[in-house]
Amino acid sequence: MILTFSNFCVSGRISGRFLGMLSVLLAFSLSTTAGAQERLINIKVAQYENYLDFSCPHGAAWNIGQNSGSILGNDKCSLSGVIEKKAVKRYHVIVASVSMREPIVIFKIVREWETLKHPVNTLIIGKPLFGLDDRTLLNDGREALIEVGVFPDFQSAQALVDKLASEGKSSWIFVEVVSLSKGKITLKVNSQEVGFGENLLLAPKENVMLRKVEHGMGYPWHGFADRNYRGTMVFQWGAQDAIDCILKTQLERVLAGVVPSEISSKAEIGALQAQATAARGEILGKLGIRHVNEGFDTCSEQHCQVFAGETSETAVIAAKISPTRGLVLTKPAGGIVDAVYSSNCGGHGEANHLVWTTPPDPILNGVWDSENAPNLDLSEEEQAGVFIDNPPNCYCKDPLVEGGDKFRWRKNISPAEWNLIETKLGVGKIKKITDIARGFSGRIYRLTFVGNQGSKTLMKELNIRKLFGGLRSSCFVSTWNHDSEGFISGGSLSGAGFGHGVGMCQTGAQSLAKKGWTFERILSHYFPGGILKKWY
């Protein structure tokens, strides 16, 4: 089975539908004024259940259905929608994701699972990345997903994931979007209905202001904000049965917004440039891998890259990161380095294959975030405890840079919170926690809960963090309280770092930049073996 990426904003569907107003769009569309030397991307910047307000302070052209027109700077605009058909999805249980450049690895994994009598299928996602001339192949971004089950609903897929976890095998659920939701939307300008159809194309002269954009879903900083964006925008029903707002704009413009959203805008220039280079590679390397068949390349949330649109800092950041324009980290054998990053590694980076179901990558094996590596094996329980309770001097320990306060943390779990954890696990009252496995950074990637109604094994650091109410990381040691019958009733955790810990430590990068390190040196520290190349 082959899943292909649908690029809605540049597809024949749009070009045909809006042919009648092409001359108007050409005057405003960023896609035509960016020039031949600009990389363009489609980024989902907002999602609304069925209604949104927006304005275009400098005017805009629009088309919806059979109607087109213009918006003035002081016009107040709104979109309302009615869904007619929900999105259709399939849920694939994936046991490995491997680059198509590694066919031998793919073959071995498939044979291994076939030997275990699992029905194995290979899904191909991703797409080749070409240069701005549309001819030069820069990267074959296709990946093979090794699937051992496909289901019509999430719960059935999760049951297989849980079963595999009980056998000590890691897996995850890939959600295939078979078809987007469908519906109608109505455009009103100054409370007057002016257009009705399936989607709206908006081409502002300068920027569009979206009101009450929801951000940080599922995180403590969840909220709403008015946000500005530059570029053409499509409003359409999407994969989440809601109205998607998809911006088409220059990649470098997006990066100028991503950098201050992902790392402190006050960081020294070396850290800002390292962040820009890593983020550029992340976006380009995951084209057609993230949000497959959803109609855009990337999103503006933590799932991809945090992007808050145009702010007062955009122009300043753009100037600071401009020397990195077109630069990406590549592997010696070819292909883009998966230049991931997290807020604070806690002192040591984690290996990619212990966080995700990907083959080990020597560039992403995790490094000590310090000048002198301590003689500690953080995969060993006692030594991990020493590391957490008596931390060595690390770059990410600096309290004067953003994220330094996440180096060490504590969390108490009350009896009520523990009851909620037991409910989620579904194995009764928990007697003990065993089978704890730690990675190179001390992060726990596997543990088993033994209850009076059975046991359950949890795999991967993110699942562990979520179970305990959203921990900063899975690098922690615990002290448990017990009731009169010997069952766990609560406890306290002492932990290190914030995030998955793979790749670049953003706090450490800021500390190193303060010391005068260049972005090249910072990247070589966190991604040893990576090679910088200029792709445009």
Orientation angle between helical segments 519-526 and 269-285, nearest 10 degrees = 60
The predicted-structure confidence for 152-191, as pLDDT tens digits, reads as follows 999 999 999 999 999 999 999 999 999 999 999 999 999 9
The predicted-structure confidence for 359-414, as pLDDT tens digits, reads as follows 999 999 999 999 999 999 999 999 999 999 999 999 999 999 999 999 999 999 99
CATH 3.30.70.1070 residue ranges for the chain:
88-179
Query: What is the reported pLDDT for 26?
Result: 53
The predicted-structure confidence for 284-325, as pLDDT tens digits, reads as follows 999 999 999 999 999 999 889 999 999 999 999 999 999 999
Q: Hey, which residues does 62 pair with through a beta bridge?
A: 69, 202
What single letter denotes the amino acid at residue 229? Y
The predicted-structure confidence for 215-226, as pLDDT tens digits, reads as follows 998 888 899 999
The mean predicted confidence, pLDDT, of the chain is 93
Phi first, then psi: what are they for 183, rounded to 5°?
Answer: 180, -170
The predicted-structure confidence for 438-447, as pLDDT tens digits, reads as follows 999 999 999 9
Summarize the confidence of residues 21-28 as an average pLDDT: 46
Query: What is the reported pLDDT for 252?
Result: 97
What single letter denotes the amino acid at residue 259? V
pLDDT bucket at 23, cuts 50 / 70 / 90: very low
Q: Say how many residues make up the chain.
A: 536
CB 206 within 8 A of CB 57: yes
State the CB neighbour count (10 A cutoff) for residue 250.
Answer: 19
Q: Can you tell me the distance from the alpha carbon of 259 to that of 247, in angstroms, rounded to the nearest whole number?
A: 18
Does pLDDT of 506 surpass 80? yes
Q: Hey, which residues does 298 pair with through a beta bridge?
A: 43
pTM: 0.90
Does pLDDT of 80 surpass 50? yes
Query: What is the reported pLDDT for 445?
Result: 98
Q: Hey, which residues does 173 pair with through a beta bridge?
A: 93
Task: Tell me the two tokens of residue 478.
Answer: 């615990």
Query: What is the reported pLDDT for 1?
Result: 37
pLDDT bucket at 10, cuts 50 / 70 / 90: very low
Summarize the confidence of residues 423-435 as an average pLDDT: 97
Q: Hey, which residues does 494 pair with through a beta bridge?
A: 410, 477
CB 49 within 8 A of CB 26: no
Query: What is the reported pLDDT for 8?
Result: 32
CB 329 within 8 A of CB 281: yes
Fold topology of 88-179? Alpha-Beta Plaits (3.30.70)
Q: Can you tell me the distance from the alpha carbon of 134 to that of 129, in angstroms, rounded to the nearest whole number?
A: 9
